[in-house]
Chains A and B, each alone.
Chain A
Amino acid sequence: METLVYKRPESLLKDGQFTFCPGCGHGVVLRIIAELIDEYNLKKDTIAISSVGCSIFLEKFFDLDVAGASHGRSPCVATGVKRCKPDKFVFTYQGDGDAATIGFNETIHTACRGEHITTIMINNTNFGMTGGQASATTLVGQVTTTTPKGRKPELTGYPLHAAEIIAGCEGTAYAARVAITTSKNIRQAKEAIRKAFEAQIKGLGYGFVEVLAACPTNWHMKPIEAVKHIDNIIEQVHPLGVFKDVSAQETK
């Protein structure tokens, strides 16, 4: 007798095929989110907040209620939703261009207020949808369409480390950086997102998970090469780790 050990999550639309480039990390993270929403039976209670960039089309993939937000403002829309519907499950899905660049002020203040929402931020160190321009998280020396000779600190400064900064906010219950590069890392990423979701479910505060994900098209790399680039290069600058976990502090 064979048993089904894995199937497409119910919270994904049946015909909601991802429209990302081959090897793009978004699909893995969206699937993990859908799996967790299924596991916690949250579909009927979830309001997802989309953002601007490749992260925008949540309603085309999720079988969930979705509110759209302007560039960088998803945490504000999420705040409005959550304050009106405190019993609902509210998360924002953003990229580094959205959450860490144009909307970092909103991200920080949402963390400081300790809003009971969760932010999943995909960090692929560039503006993917507009064609790979440099963002706040772009590495020093990284070649992008706006830094053709590599990011030069004397001209455009240094990369922003979102998860560490958010961990420093008192209202944050959970902040971590994960990568979806290997089976082991993908498992850890899911556990981190689970913790961030639980922080909301238990009413502990703001949950923030930064996910290092590949953008093979704009990095001009083959998918396997792009995934290895994260483990070999990007993690040197944006290290993986749990930077704050209020629930762990309580158990100690």
Chain B
Amino acid sequence: MAKVLVKGNEAIAQAAINAGCMCYFGYPITPQSEIGEYMGAHLPEMGRTFITAESELASINMVIGAGTTGTKAMTSSSSCGIALMQEAISAMCCAEVPGVIVSVMRGGPGLGNIAPAQNDYFQAVKGGGNGDYKTIVLSPSTVQEAIDLTYRAFHIAIKYRNPVMLLADGILGQMMEPAEFGEYPFDDPDTSSWALNGADNRPARNIVSLHMPEGAMEQLTDRLFEKYEQIAKEETTSESFMIDDAKLVLTAFGSVGRIAKAAAIKARENGMKVGVFRPVTLFPFPDKDLHEVAKKADMILDLEMNKGQMLLDVRSAVFGACPVEFFGRTAGGLLTPDLIYQKIEEVYKKIETKTKAGVV
């Protein structure tokens, strides 16, 4: 298939269609409304379901309904809309209902603004819902990767019977670039052993999130956490860019990961050994890989369009192997290659001072 020029939001929508998404339930919010518009234009004529729901609460619960029948379904929203979905995402993890949630982050807190931001890392990865649970979070940095990760999101949602969030930001959602829609590359597992379709000559099934008998909820949570371990083993993904000899490693996710690469290239041209480590899966976080990187590096500079959210996971992964610095802007403040480069120059001096002083 040839490359086409496509907007991030529309690429995600088309990729979902290619992945076999049979239902889209959503509620408009900037900067991701094109996803719903695209779905509204295409799904009905394909005989698939499109509903503009009465709220984000309704859309995510419709996704749950579809998920309980083993059907691929999706919703999409942005920051404050995703906030309204948290109760249902927690319920999906508990009841093991598959579904794909696309979050195209805007500035916050509150209604915030409609500028690109990454201030919903906590919301996506740590979850605003109740209880011990994990949402699988995939973070694309290019339109091409948004397509590929949308495919993967649908597959692993069904594979692990867990919600999967595609965490993009307003930059990625709104920008156009060439990308290729390959074929959906996965064989999805059969859902007939658990999906609800009526108790026809088999015992009745239930998919619920209330487990009252003594010990039942702890037993279930223990099993869910064994599943999350398995997900960590099989799905953890990161990208390393020029890090083999890097003294300074930049950590960044999503679109900032891509901007960081441009800054690293400029730093290399100016004699500084800088590389980039970009987590692609935010849960499971590539903590073991990052720890190995940190052991070889002199310093880590974490870059985010927020006040330091992934930073906590970075520090926890580095676990003292090297110092960690942070640079971020929030709520629409963009990290440009030049800004990042300035920060690189500043922290690189610290590495050189330490090396000269014999402190490593």
Contacts and interface: CB of A to CB of B under 8 A. Distances in A.
Contact of A68 (B55, B62, B197, B207): B207
Interface stretch (A80-88, A174-182, A226-234): A80-88
B238 interface: no
B58 A85 contact: no
A195 interface: no
Contacts of B204: 13, 59, 62-66
A83 B95 contact: no
Interface string A28-67: 0000000000000001111101100000101100111111
Number of contact residues on B: which range applies?
Answer: 35 or more
B316 to A, nearest CB: 31
A64 B53 CA distance: 28
A113 interface: yes
Contacts of B66: 80-81, 83-84
B65 A43 contact: no
Interface in B147-206: 196-201, 204-206
Contact of A67 (B54, B206, B210): B206
Q: B interface, by DSSP: helix, strand, loop or mixed?
A: mixed
Most-contacted residue by chain B among A45, A63, A80, A108 (CB, 10 A)? A80
A201 interface: no
A85 B208 CA distance: 19
Interface stretch (A69-77, A133-141, A164-172, A212-220): A69-77
Contact of A70 (B61, B198, B207): B61
B87 interface: yes
Interface stretch (B68-76, B100-108, B280-288): B68-76
B61 A105 contact: no
A70 B91 contact: yes
Nearest to A50: B208
Contact of A84 (B22, B53, B88): B22
Nearest to B49: A83
A200 B6 CA distance: 42
Residue of B95, B196, B208 contacting most chain A CB atoms (<10 Å) = B196
Contacts of A105: 54-55, 58
Contacts of A45: 198, 200
Contacts of A56: 210
A161 interface: no
B51 A84 contact: no
Contacts of A13: 204
Give the interface centre of A73, A76, A78, A105 by most chain B CB atoms within 10 Å. A76
A143 B148 CA distance: 59
Nearest to B67: A80
B17 interface: no
B200 A44 contact: yes
B63 interface: yes
Given A80-B67, A84-B49, A65 B62 contact: no
A76 B65 contact: yes
B194 to A, nearest CB: 11
Contacts of A50: 208
A198 interface: no
B57 interface: yes
Nearest to B71: A84
A79 B71 CA distance: 13
Given A73-B58, A84-B23, A105-B55, A66 B64 contact: no
Nearest to A71: B87
Contacts of A108: 54
Contact of B198 (A65, A69, A80): A65
A47 B206 contact: no
B209 interface: yes
Contacts of B55: 105
Interface string A10-21: 000100000000
A176 B210 CA distance: 30
B197 A85 contact: yes
Contacts of A65: 196-199, 204-206
B206 A77 contact: no
Contacts of A43: 198-199
Contacts of B205: 65-66
A82 B73 CA distance: 13
B51 A83 contact: yes
B25 interface: yes
Contacts of B199: 43-44, 46, 63-65
A82 B204 CA distance: 18
B51 A67 contact: no
A81 B87 contact: no
Given A70-B88, A79-B62, A46 B198 contact: yes
A54 to B, nearest CB: 12
Given A59-B208, A83-B23, A77 B198 contact: no
A109 B206 contact: no
Given A78-B65, A80-B66, A84-B22, A68 B51 contact: no
B311 to A, nearest CB: 32
Given A64-B199, A80-B68, 14 more contacts: A44-B199, A58-B206, A63-B204, A65-B206, A66-B196, A66-B207, A66-B208, A70-B87, A73-B58, A77-B61, A77-B65, A79-B65, A82-B65, A84-B66
The 7 closest A-B pairs by CB, nearest first: A80-B65, A68-B208, A76-B61, A44-B200, A59-B206, A73-B61, A77-B65
Interface of A: 13, 43-47, 49-50, 56, 58-59, 62-70, 73, 76-85, 88-89, 105-106, 108-109, 113
Interface of B: 22-23, 25, 49, 51, 53-55, 57-59, 61-69, 71, 73, 87-88, 91, 95, 196-201, 204-210
